[in-house]
Structure 1
Amino acid sequence: MRVTAHLDSPIVGADTWQTPLDGPLSWAWAVRARARGETIPPAPTPSTPAADFPLPLARWQREGWWGWRTSRAHIDGPVHTAMEIRRKPATGPMSVWTSDAKHHNGLGPTKARNVIRAAIVTSTVWWDVEPTDVDDLADLLRHVTHLGARHNAGAGHVTHWALDDVDGDWTDREWPPQAACRAPYWHPSRRSLQ
Structure 2
Amino acid sequence: MGGGSSFLRAPIPKDRVFIVTGGNSGIGYETSKWVAMMGGHVIIACRSESRAKEAIEKMKSEFAEEKKKGTTGIITEGDINVEFMHLDLASFSSVTTFIDAFKASEFTEDENEMMFQANYLAHLLIVIKLLPIMQKSGEDLRIVNNSSFAHEYTSFDTNNIQGKKENFDAWDSYSKSKGYQVG
TM-score, length of structure 1 as denominator length:
0.20
Instruction: Judging by fraction of residues, say which structure has more helix.
Output: 2
More contact order relative to length (CA 8 Å, sep ≥ 6): 1
Instruction: Judging by fraction of residues, say which structure has more strand.
Output: 1
Tell me which structure has the larger Cα radius of gyration: 2
TM-score, length of structure 2 as denominator length:
0.21
